[in-house]
Homo-oligomer: A and B are copies of this chain.
Amino acid sequence: MSKKINLVIWNEFRHERNEDTCRAIYPDGIHGLIKQFLSENEDLDITLAALDDPCQGITDELLEKTDVLIWWGHMSHHEVSDELVEKIRQRVYAGMGLIVLHSGHHSKVFKAVVGTNGNLSWGRDQKEIIWNLNPSHPIAEGIPEHFTLELEELYSEPFYIPTPDALVFGGWYEDGFMFRSGVCFNRGLGKVFYFQPGHEYCRSYYNPFVQRIIKNAIYWAKPANIGYTVPEGAPCLTFKVTDEFNK
């Protein structure tokens, strides 16, 4: 239990390097800010990773020990290698947690892990109100009935995801749209959380409730303590369980 949680925060990290507006908001990158607001959580061992790092930021060695992976990507989804996507996918099914943020709905990782085309509609930045639809869910711990974001990118329903295993947050938008903003998926032994806020031109990751939700999601998504050694592939069984009686 005292073992630290190995958290990798992956960011495409190009907007913040190439665009003044984004850099002004997130000078150390979105991943850098997330690391910063998690710094008080001493049981987290945090690694930052970016698309332009060697191995696109995630070596086999790093992935193997990752407990929870946060993913923010946008314009360069197509550059992420299919091999890396497949490795991440298998790690989730084997128990690794995955938190996909904002425009990651169209990332190869989200689409492959969850089984979706990730489609939605989007529009101009505007006022959003996040509603707490599942107040007793672990990811909603400490979150009020609602909170407001002065400016976020519009993401609208219909969102063509599978039925979520839990719907935690909903988003109300000024122009009359709504969105399932925080949704959970069980995939194999792994847990996946998608959370909508986080446009690169907006300041949502400075919002204390957004920060709390991401923190909560990390602890919720961390690998479970499985009571046996999970086999690889599809093993052939050569025993009868019924033989165990009257041993």
Contacts and interface: CB of A to CB of B under 8 A. Distances in A.
B123 A238 contact: yes
A146 B188 contact: no
A150 to B, nearest CB: 6
Contacts of A141: 224-225, 227
Contacts of A242: 127, 129, 174-176
Interface stretch (A18-26, A58-66, A111-119, A197-205): A111-119
B115 A187 contact: yes
B165 A163 contact: yes
Nearest to A188: B160
Interface stretch (A2-10, A27-35, A48-56, A228-236): A228-236
A176 B187 contact: no
A167 interface: yes
Interface string A211-234: 000000000000111111011111
Given A93-B117, A162-B187, A187-B116, A180 B237 contact: no
B186 A162 contact: yes
A224 to B, nearest CB: 4
Contacts of A162: 115, 162, 165, 185-188
20 contacts: A93-B119, A116-B188, A119-B188, A119-B233, A122-B235, A133-B180, A135-B189, A135-B224, A135-B230, A140-B226, A140-B227, A141-B224, A141-B225, A146-B176, A148-B241, A163-B165, A163-B167, A170-B178, A174-B242, A177-B237
